[in-house]
Amino acid sequence: MPQLNGGGGDDLGANDEMISFKDEGEQEEKISENVSAERDLDDLKSSLVNESENNSSSSDSEQAERRPQPRPDLDSYEKTRDYFSEAFRRQQDGGFFKSPHYPGYPIFMIPDLTNPYLSNGALSPSARTYLQMKWPLLDVPGAAGLKDSRSPTPGHLSNKVPVVQHAHHVHPLTPLITYSNEHFSPGTPPSHLSPEILDPKTGIPRTPHPSELSPYYPLSPGAVGQIPHPLGWLVPQQGQHMYSIPPGGFRHPYPTLAMNASMSSLVSSRFSPHMMPHHPHGMHQTGIPHPAIVSPAIKQEPNTHDHMSPSMHSKSPGPVKKEEDKKPHIKKPLNAFMLYMKEMRAKVVAECTLKESAAINQILGRRWHSLSREEQAKYYELARKERQLHSQLYPGWSARDNYGKRKKRKRDNKPDSTPEDFSISNKKQCVQYLPSEKMCDSPASSHGSMLDSPATPSAALASPAAPAATHSEQAQPLSLTTKPEGRLHHHFLTGKPSGSASSSISIPIGTSGSHSTPILPRPIPFSSLHHSMLSPPSPFHQAALHSHHALFQSQPLSLVTKSSD
DNA sequence: TGTCCTTTGAAGGTT
DNA sequence: AACCTTCAAAGGACA
């Protein structure tokens, strides 16, 4: 992505991962922003839910319940302070602490410490060294010290969220840390157990809907009993790597020394330790099916293995294996947004009753655009590492290999845009946020506005979330829809992360920056424009904020659902 | 049961 | 070079 470390090639563990703590004030401000953003999201979702539930009685009550909430800013401010105090305290105790809502990445950027070459997940000396160098404040217990996972309370231990937990127990960098451990998170406390997750109605810790737990607590009783490693949060659990492992085992193309800490974090989190001694049938030795290995039978296309790298064919998984079993599906590495989504989804889901992924993704898309430059940069960097690692693990793999493995997507109704099509697209119409300019009345115009307001990642980076943004978003009419209006391509994004943050004041946000949804220009959060702009917002920005805000207030939330059709 | 939906980004193919 | 297509995650909705 955009000018990460000046495109710093191999600087894994890049500087941007090491954003140091800011001044308390600034930190708090940031946190406050994030909390506000969350509230914003909450409100948004609340609206969505209300909308989708079609004036159900609960919607009113739910909203009513939300309103009484004290001022989020002040409240969250204090809350945040508490978080930090608690964090500090726990840190002092050598324990683990919860994260503030979104305290910034620095303290989260704890790479998975598991040495990929230590199959038992023991913390390697190098990893410890790395950790301590990177996180001097962190008390990194030795493997021995962490041996006993039974002692730490589940709330503090999570294989998914090492050391620090996100407010909703989703580490911002979870994807990197323990890539996809959501299927096995014995240590991750259910969100309902989280002190900060309260039932909006009762104010007491709520019992989440079963579906809320599913992503993180899909363990079967048997699986629970296998919580094998004491290091819960440090040890990648079975079944969680992202990429398939060649049935013959993982042949690491590089010597240990070639793998730096960042890399090892990826490897350990997504590829190891299952990568090492691989167990046939994609089954971990624990007996739990290995998620990383996508069953070839699922969506296997003949000849796909032809594109496999030689290493893929090096070994035969087993004598009795079917031929398909030899061709594990190697998934694409996740891009930055995917990583973000993976991490944030649970949080979003936990915050609302909205479960539909499509809607969730729209929210995530908005939030993605509202991320600060640094925050997005983190994910871009992670994604870059993911790709790097992936390419190293599967030198011969090509994205093309997976083509056709997924059912052909119905190539939407976008082609000939007849008047009817147009009307259809109107359903998903973008709300007109800007009176005079760049109304996205149509996909085309949407693109047009993109031209003026690059939706490139770099541009997005220039459009972070901040109190201002949050504020505006709260009043901002959101046009969310699950109804396709004809899938638009976003190749305007092919303006790949150039790194040059656009100075445009209009940023694409809203339900989508690209595809079907309109570009929703909105005021750029003061803090997001640039670091230097954190302080006094210019009259220009204020004006922009005001105008947008006014507009947003005048625009009702529009949720177009399929059912509405 | 399988696909769609929805998001952004990456990659590869096509024009 | 620009454009187009597919896939990556996720889970409810739908055929």
pLDDT at position A367 is 92
pLDDT at position A193 is 35
pLDDT at position A408 is 57
- Which residue did the predictor score with more confidence, A399 or A173? A399
Q: Distance from residue A149 (CA) to nucleotide B3 (C1'), in Å?
A: 42
Q: Angle A357-370/A336-351 helices, nearest 10 degrees?
A: 120
pLDDT band at residue A335 under the 50/70/90 scheme:
very high
- Nucleotide with smallest C1' distance to residue A447 CA: C3
CA angle A452, A456, A462 (to 5 degrees): 85
pLDDT band at residue A84 under the 50/70/90 scheme:
very low
The structure tokens listed for A557 are: 């939330």
Query: Rounded CA gap, A313 and A295, in Å?
Result: 16
- Nucleotide with smallest C1' distance to residue A486 CA: B5
The structure tokens listed for A239 are: 């079944």
Contact A560, A362 (CB under 8 A): no
Query: Rounded CA gap, A393 and A274, in Å?
Result: 13
- Nucleotide with smallest C1' distance to residue A461 CA: B8
Please tell me the least confidently modeled range out of A22-26, A324-328, A389-393. Answer: A22-26
Strand B neighbours among A 505-564, CB < 7 A: 508, 511-517, 562
Q: Distance from residue A481 (CA) to nucleotide C14 (C1'), in Å?
A: 16
What mean pLDDT comes out for the span A81-108? 36
Q: What residue has its CA nearest to the C1' of B8?
A: A337
Contact A83, A100 (CB under 8 A): yes
Query: Rounded CA gap, A437 and A26, in Å?
Result: 35
Contact A485, A425 (CB under 8 A): yes
Strand B nucleotides in reach of protein CB atoms, 7 A cut-off: 2-13
pLDDT at position A404 is 80
Q: What is the mean pLDDT of chain A?
A: 43
Q: For the segment A170-189, what is each residue's pLDDT rounded down to a tens digit? A: 344 444 433 333 333 333 33
Is the pTM higher than 0.85? The answer reads no
Pairing of strands A558-560, A479-481: parallel
Identify the top-confidence range among A274-278, A356-360, A518-522, A556-560.
A356-360
Q: What residue has its CA nearest to the C1' of C11?
A: A357
Query: Rounded CA gap, A141 and A128, in Å?
Result: 8
Q: Distance from residue A17 (CA) to nucleotide B11 (C1'), in Å?
A: 25
Q: Distance from residue A380 (CA) to nucleotide B1 (C1'), in Å?
A: 36
Looking at this protein, which amino acid is placed at residue A89?
R
Looking at this protein, which amino acid is placed at residue A267?
V
Contact A346, A215 (CB under 8 A): yes
Query: Rounded CA gap, A107 and A323, in Å?
Result: 46
Q: Distance from residue A251 (CA) to nucleotide B7 (C1'), in Å?
A: 34
Q: Distance from residue A410 (CA) to nucleotide C15 (C1'), in Å?
A: 14
Strand B neighbours among A 327-346, CB < 7 A: 332, 335-338, 341
Query: Rounded CA gap, A255 and A243, in Å?
Result: 20
Strand C nucleotides in reach of protein CB atoms, 7 A cut-off: 3-14
What mean pLDDT comes out for the span A316-320? 38
Q: For the segment A276-285, what is each residue's pLDDT rounded down to a tens digit? A: 333 333 333 3
Looking at this protein, which amino acid is placed at residue A404?
G
**A431-459 burial code (b ≥16 CB/10 A, e <16):** bbbbeeebbbebbeebbbbbeebbbbbbb
Q: For the segment A506-540, what is each residue's pLDDT rounded down to a tens digit? A: 333 333 333 333 333 333 332 333 333 323 333 33
Strand B neighbours among A 350-409, CB < 7 A: 356-358, 361-362, 364-365, 368-369, 376, 380, 383-384, 387, 398-400, 407-409
Footprint of strand C on the protein (CB under 7 A): A 180, 182, 211, 214-215, 242, 329, 331-332, 334-335, 337-338, 341-342, 345, 349, 355-358, 361, 399, 402-409, 411, 489, 491-492, 494, 562-563
What mean pLDDT comes out for the span A108-112? 36
Looking at this protein, which amino acid is placed at residue A173?
L
pLDDT at position A352 is 79
Contact A483, A561 (CB under 8 A): yes
Q: What residue has its CA nearest to the C1' of C12?
A: A356
